[in-house]
Amino acid sequence: MNIVCIGGGPAGLYFALLMKQQDPAHRITVVERNRPYDTFGWGVVLSDQTLDNLVRADAPTAHAIMAAFNRWDDIDVRFQGQTITSGGHGFCGIGRKHLLNILQHRCEALGVELVFETDVADDAVLAARYNADLVIAADGIHSRIRTRYAASYQPQMEDRHCRFVWLGTRKKFDAFTFAFQHTPHGWFQAHIYQFDADTSTFIVETPESVWRASGLADMSQEQSIAFCERLFAEQLDGYPLMANNAHQRGAASWVTFPRLVCGHWVHWHDEVPVVLMGDAAHSAHYSIGSGTKLALEDAIGLARCIGEQGGLRPALAAYQQARAVEVLKLQSAARNSMEWFENVERYAGMVAPQFAYSMLTRSQRLSHANLRLRDPAYVDGYEAWFAARAFAQAGVPAPATPTPPMFTPFKVRGLVLKNRVLVSPMAQYSAVDGVAGDYHLAHLGARALGGAALVFAEMTGVSADARITPACPGLYTPEHTQAWRRIVDFVHQHSDSAIALQLGHAGAKGSTRPMWDGIDQPLESGNWPLLAASEQQYLEGVSQIARAMTVEDMDRVLDDFVRATLAADAAGFDWLELHCAHGYLLSSFISPLTNHRSDEYGGSLENCCRYPLRVFAAMRAAWPAHKPMSVRLSATDWVDGGTTPDDAVAIARLFKAAGADIIDCSSGQVSKREQPVYGRMYQAPFADRIRNEAGIATIAVGAITSADQVNGIIAAGRADLCAIGRPHLANPAWTLAEAAASGYRALRWPRPYAAAKRQLERAAELNNDTKEAL
């Protein structure tokens, strides 16, 4: 083939040499607009995994790169006057110019033609000049070719929220260093790594608002460098900072990061494919050092597909299919990392050890178990610190044996939970006339015996018309209270778990069939009238139409919640949760998708929350002061115009002010127009934001499936508790099984309810003096 690569960066050069190596008969030309030794930026970073890929693809190039690398294993996090070090990370740094020179020399040795100082204005003209069978568009993040064929590539470009400047220094750093400095205007951070014998990259980053408030927008390049030198004087030890982008002046040297995703990577022009590669196809934030990695691995992937497939069209289809998945994984991790650095203020209230752990695991790609593999001593030390703190805060003596974060206690009001694992409330559709029976005793009892600290009963209706289905439980008659008391007593007498009740009202989603008979479908007969904040039909053309609540309706429903709260206490529950999520009645007030009222219960966020807050306040007043109360929220509706994560933080603050102890952070199920983004632990970021911005404890839920994930969430301060649903359905003893798998011997926990009952029974047979003593 005749192949033309537009752009002489890592992607274009590496693909050219791989294809020439694969078949010397290929005629390959790389066209670059700059001179051979022009480049911007300082050093680039590659992981050990990427180096292994390079060795397999082209050993001579890999060994030349590895010989020039500066290698380190440690990461230093410098925060609030402390340095936290974690090892075993296996990174290498190399000067970008040196890397390009190595690739250029290898291309020349293999017979690739390199054309410099040629600006490509028209790729079609260039392709015709070289009679190209394949054109590679590796012309960078501001790709002209991607812009020209945007209809084919479908790019989505988003400028992010921080400004950063790419500098260098002669100060040598032994570790990949992240330094954080606070100013009167906010936080700055530096990403620092040594890439050759005497030079380090020094990237300074801060949110746009902080950058402007600091006056950097009006400074010359020299002035802004001097500002950074003063700010990070402690890290620089008197060494100056240097710039190598003389073509940029003043504020132009501070740029925002463009996050790029393309729907397609191939455009066909007169039967010649024009293929995106590297930064032209995607971007991933520099905080995980991934741009060069992706570029090189794109080249490896396309060369491999061409070598393995029977023709160019199937090869390009295979390339896009394979690389799009891998890039999406890395972009997802990079986005998490990027957002963490955009919101350092969110985590600045943490003490240094937890702040550093949160930073190390920010991408969710590096888990608690991964950290232990890399640096067992660091994780052992952090776990010991975390456990000592957790046991002290819970007022419980710490054991002599090490305790993973998942198994540390947590105190809420007068209740001390033995670990951080909850059984999620899960609808079982097994009640008869609202009565919880033997099925619920077996279901909840088994999971209480299985090691979880707290088991949640499913959403329980505060009235007959508050139920989702006729098979859902209720708490509106004495018979219901007695049935729940039987289950609560079993949990208290036979386990060391606590038990919680979630109270709710189905609203417009009520009077439906059990899910296996048609989820959200109305009953075939016996439907009851429905209520909502505003007139609403949950399933258009299918569901009943719920009428808007009147003030009288609100008073009646509030009374139902208070009556059920008193009954829940009489039944002996340890914890009460108010369901304000998933499109049910109280959720319908909170979401702008379902609340269109023009009275004092509609309009502003505060007004929309007014009725749910009234209900909560009345319940809190009726619920014993020593028992916790939580609120379940949909942290986002996953619909444009609906509740957002920003709203969720504000809503959480309102419930905190009303006396809520903890927010149970779910999402969605408010509208069938939702477009959720699923993935492992996909709702944990909502719990993270609410916990660390609203300053209230949170429960993380959603696709949490392993002790490793729970340990990471709890250790990083993303949530205080984790609610596990489906794994507990599959194995009621999931918590004990995870403890055994991780080698942790779960502590026996005191059972004060059962112990007190046995003492009283014995006291009845003893004399009065003994009774009084007991």
Inter-CA distances, 540 with 250, 508, 522, 543, 588, Å:
56, 12, 12, 7, 16
The angle at the Cα of 484, spanning 479 to 487, to the nearest 5 degrees, equals 135
CB-CB contact of 133 with 1 (8 Å): yes
Handedness of CA 145, 150, 151, 154 (dihedral sign): positive
How far is Cα 618 from Cα 658, in angstroms, rounded to an integer?
10
Task: Taking each helix axis as running N to C, give the angle between helix 610-622 and helix 551-570, from 0 to 180 degrees, rounded to the nearest 10.
Answer: 30
Segment (H or E) for 486:
helix 478-494
Token pair, residue 392, equals 């002290």
Whether 239 is catalytic = no
Token pair, residue 335, equals 């986005």
Inter-CA distances, 685 with 455, 502, 719, Å:
23, 23, 9
Strands 454-461 and 547-548: unpaired
- The answer for residues whose C-beta is within 8 angstroms of residue 198's C-beta and 6 or more apart is 170, 172
Mapping DSSP to helix (H, G, I), strand (E, B) and coil, where does residue 187 land? Answer: strand
Which residue, 417, 381, 416, is CA-closest to 402? Answer: 381
Among candidate residues 319, 347, 357, 584, the one labeled active-site is: 584
Is residue 17 packed enough to be buried (19+ CB in 10 Å), middle (13-18) or exposed (0-12)?
buried
How far is Cα 651 from Cα 461, in angstroms, rounded to an integer?
23
In 202-279, alpha helices (H): 208-213, 221-231, 233-236
In angstroms, how far is the first alpha carbon of the chain from the final one?
A: 92
Q: What are phi and psi of 78, to 5 degrees?
A: -105, 115
Is residue 56 packed enough to be buried (19+ CB in 10 Å), middle (13-18) or exposed (0-12)?
exposed
The b/e string for 265-298 (b: 16+ C-beta within 10 A; e otherwise) is bbbebeebbbbbbbbbbbbbbbbbbbbbbbbbbb
Is residue 505 packed enough to be buried (19+ CB in 10 Å), middle (13-18) or exposed (0-12)?
buried
Tell me the catalytic residues: 584
